[in-house]
Amino acid sequence: MMPPSLLHTWFELLSPEQIVMAYGMTENLGLTALRGDEWLEHPGSVGRGFRDTEIRILDSQQRPLGPGEDGDVYLRAPMSAGYRYLGGAPPLPSTEDGFRSAGDIGHLDEDGYLYIVDRRVDMIISGGANVFPAEVESALAGHPAIADVVVIGLADPQWGRRVHAVVQRADGASLTEQQVIDYAKGRLAPYKAPKTVEFVDAIPRTAATKVNRSAMIAARGG
C-alpha cells in the first residue's frame, strides 16, 4: 500500500481522476479498484469490487462481519475458478459458495469500499493484544524525518513479542528513539506504539518495494 504522502504527491503532479489504484492477489482471486478522487473521499481504501469481483469480510468461523469490523478478506470472481494448486501448496481458505482468502485482514465501509489492515501472518501479538505492522508503519510514515520504516515483532520476555520499528531517517534529519515512540503514541493507541526503535542507513527492499520480514526478524534474534 502506498503511503498517503506519496499519493498526494502524485495527485499534485496529475489530477486525481487520472490515477487508478488496484488491489489483487497473485492467486487471481479477484480485483478491487478506485480512482484518486474516490480515494480522497475514502482515504486508505483499495476500492470496490472490479470486473464482477465480490467481497466478504468473515471472522475465524466464516461468519459475516459488518461495516468497520476487521476480519479475513474473502473474494469471489469469475476468474478465480481457474486457480490451481501446484507443488503441494496448501489450499486457500474457502467458503462453500466459492469465496477464497489469501490471508489479508481488512474491513468494508458503509459504501462497500475495502480497507486492507495487514497480512494475518505479519500480525504481532504483544502483551495479548493484536498489533498490525502496516497500521504502525502508516502512522510513522507521516513523520517528516522518516524516509522509510518497517515494523516487526521481536521475542520479548515481558510482552511475548515487542513492537520494534526499523527506521531510515530522511537525509540530514535528526531523530531519536523517544521521538519516534512519542510520535506513534500521538497517533495510535499506546499499546501499538513501538517499544524499541532501531535506525539503519537503508531498509532492504526488493524492486517491488517489498521487505523480507522473516529475514529481518531472524537477523535480530527472532
pLDDT score of 77 more than 80: yes
Average pLDDT of the segment spanning 98-116: 93
Q: Note the pLDDT tens digit of each residue in 5-56.
A: 677 788 888 989 999 999 987 666 789 999 999 999 998 899 999 989 999 9
The pLDDT value given to residue 165: 98
d(CA 168, CA 211): 14
Per DSSP bridges, beta strands 54-58 and 71-76 are antiparallel
Q: Categorize the per-residue pLDDT at 69 as very low, low, confident or very high, splitting at 50, 70 and 90.
A: very high
> In the chain, what are the domain boundaries?
4-117, 124-219
Fold: same for 4-117 and 124-219: no
Which pTM was predicted? Answer: 0.76
Average pLDDT of the segment spanning 153-180: 96
Q: Note the pLDDT tens digit of each residue in 90-106.
A: 677 889 998 988 889 99
Please state which of the four CATH numbers 3.20.20.330, 3.40.366.10, 3.30.300.30, 3.40.50.1820 is assigned to the domain occupying 124-219: 3.30.300.30
Mean pLDDT score of the chain, rounded to an integer?
Answer: 90
Give SS3 for 182.
Answer: helix
Average pLDDT of the segment spanning 73-82: 79
Its CATH architecture, for the domain 4-117, is: Roll (2.30)
Percent helix, strand, coil in the chain, to 5, is: 25, 30, 45
CA dihedral 25, 31, 35, 36 (to 10 degrees): -20
39 burial class (0-12, 13-18, 19+ CB within 10 angstroms)?
A: buried
The DSSP code sequence of 52-70 is: T-EEEEE-TT--B--TT--
In 3D space, the residue among 50, 61, 60, 44 whose CA is nearest the CA of residue 1 turns out to be 44
Average pLDDT of the segment spanning 125-152: 94
216 or 210, which is more confident? 216
The pLDDT value given to residue 26: 67
